[in-house]
Amino acid sequence: MNSLVLLMLLPIIGSIAVAATPKTKEVLSKQVALATTVIVAIGTIAMAMNFQRDNVDLQFVEKYSWIPTFGINFAVGIDGLALVLILMSTILAPIVVLSGWNEAHGGRWSVKTFYILILVLETMMIGVFAATDVFLFYVIFEAMLIPVYFLIGGYGSGERSAAAVKFLIYSLVGGLLMLASIIALYVMSGAQGGHTFDINKLSQLQMSSTTQNLLFLGFFIAFAIKAPVWPFHTWLPDAAQSATPGTSVLLLGVLDKVGTFGMIRYCLTMFPEASKTFTPVILVLAVISIIYGAFLAIGAKDIKLLIAYTSISHFGFITMGIFAMTSQAQSGATLYMFNHGFSTAALFLVAGWMISRRGSSTIADFGGLQRVTPIMAWSFFIAGLSSLALPGLSSFVSEFLVLVGTYTRYPVAAVIGTLGIVLAALYILIPIQKTLHGPTTEGNENLKDLNLREKFAIAPVIAIIVVMGFYPKPVLDLIISSKSSKYKKYLLSKPLIIFKAFVLDNTMAPEAHGTSEGTESSKSLISK
């Protein structure tokens, strides 16, 4: 058993330990859950330190026969892309447990059940990024719905039951479409050498353009719902508004990344020609997501809805970067997944503390918090500036790479997408001005600032946001090391020098649409 499989088992073991604690010992259940997530985070960091960045093959590979009759295996392995997202997931898990120490109180079920669900979900978060068997991926992809459904419906607020059901229905519809495509791939593999669910073998199947397009749509729609991309996004605002802050962090910060991860790992790898065919349509959807999400965020009156709408806009950038089919755009999109996870986490965590103290999530009910709760106010301020991609904070590098990389091939989409930057200033700075500055709103005079536990929870998130703004190279190196899959030949032919701080020096194969002239012009533009 290698370290990756052990990493997946640890949260399950922790959930069993939590289940064994007496129901009356709520603090003990929390402590066991926190200790488990911390151990998993440390193990993931250790695994990352042992990751060979110059090795383009999958690492920490493990394969066990699961259902041999149908060629189904428990097969896992990671490349740089998967490692980055697993790192993000396991680092956020203990932060969620620590920050939401009391958010399970008042739920339909016990505190112990809440943390069992969190730990089970953590195992699935690791597994969904590590799976190399398509059937295993699908099982985990669907099974993730169960703990999230109960976390929203059992421990949320407001119309939590309706929000949980809506989330479940949308996800199940997408999952059924993907299942149909998986079954078709399985049948085709049997006719071309032997039934299999191995992603590497499935990516080598010969199929007509029509077949590839149909199978691509089955996967893409499922991932677009999960991401979410307009017009498949409508479940997200309801879920984010009803869920607890910790659940929202895992939902928007981690689980939604499964959608964009799937676009890279499965859509581009198994259906490269179909990906190229649908790229113009997908770019239109991405641009609409950027602008539409931004306008909704500007008009939002509820702070939870505001953060949810900003995420729709951000996922538009990520999707655009993925399907721009250039090295720098896809590197930026993957880095955006990582950075968005922490920016959104900071926003939701601080917003949750603000709501719990004020007893309201309406933006108009806050005001002058910088005078009353300066640490909480500054934390929200930094998280907000990262969300609008201020230079020096994490999201700027990601957004810059996406827009520059997209411009080299699809300048119109990139130019329209830049409007999202302008709108971001409005949907972030206006709420910041209303909540943090100006006269202190009546009822806020006696609000308490962050306590020691909350400071410990938010400190690493803020630190990552700042460090990644100035030095993203370690994570970018991991991302670039994964650019060896089948879709590589569809990327722009030559790398771009993006910043003097780091260089994307991976050599890309020739590509029909990318030109050296476009690369050189981009270099000269950046140098100016």
- Tokens 């060896």 label which residue? 484
* Whether the predicted pLDDT of 86 surpasses 90: yes
The whole-angstrom separation of Cα 117 and Cα 103 is 14
The whole-angstrom separation of Cα 165 and Cα 405 is 38
Q: Higher pLDDT residue, 305 or 482?
A: 305
Domain total in the chain: 1
pLDDT in tens, 116-138: 999 999 999 999 999 988 999 99
For range 336-362, the mean pLDDT: 88
149 contacts 168 by C-beta, under 8 angstroms: yes
88 lies in a domain?
Answer: no
140 contacts 147 by C-beta, under 8 angstroms: no
Write down the pLDDT at residue 1.
56
Q: DSSP characters for 493-528?
A: SS----BTTB---PPPPP-SS--HHHHHHHHHHHH-
Write down the pLDDT at residue 159.
83
* Whether the predicted pLDDT of 480 surpasses 60: yes
Radius of gyration of the chain (CA): 22
User: Whole-number mean pLDDT of the chain?
Assistant: 84
Tell me the residue range of the domain where 395 lies. Answer: 271-486
126 lies in a domain?
Answer: no
Q: Which helix (H) or strand (E) holds 210?
A: helix 209-226
Write down the pLDDT at residue 482.
62
Q: Higher pLDDT residue, 219 or 517?
A: 219
370 lies in a domain?
Answer: yes
The whole-angstrom separation of Cα 144 and Cα 128 is 9
Which residue(s) pair with 131 in the sheet? 76
83 lies in a domain?
Answer: no
pLDDT in tens, 417-457: 888 888 888 888 888 888 888 788 877 778 888 889 999 99
pLDDT in tens, 270-282: 888 898 899 999 9
385 lies in a domain?
Answer: yes
Query: What backbone torsions phi and psi does residue 22 show, to the nearest 5 degrees?
Result: -60, 145
Which residue(s) pair with 64 in the sheet? 74
Cα dihedral 388, 391, 394, 397 sign: positive
Which residue(s) pair with 198 in the sheet? 133
* Whether the predicted pLDDT of 508 surpasses 50: no
pLDDT in tens, 373-410: 889 889 999 998 988 888 888 888 888 889 988 988 88
528 lies in a domain?
Answer: no
For range 487-507, the mean pLDDT: 38
For range 221-225, the mean pLDDT: 91
pLDDT in tens, 1-57: 578 889 999 999 999 999 998 888 888 999 999 999 999 999 999 998 888 887 777
141 lies in a domain?
Answer: no
Query: What backbone torsions phi and psi does residue 131 show, to the nearest 5 degrees?
Result: -65, 135
Q: What is the pTM of this model?
A: 0.86
495 lies in a domain?
Answer: no
> Would you place residue 483 in the very low, low, confident or very high pLDDT band (cuts 50, 70, 90)?
low
- HSE, CB side, 13 Å, CA atoms: give it for residue 376: 30
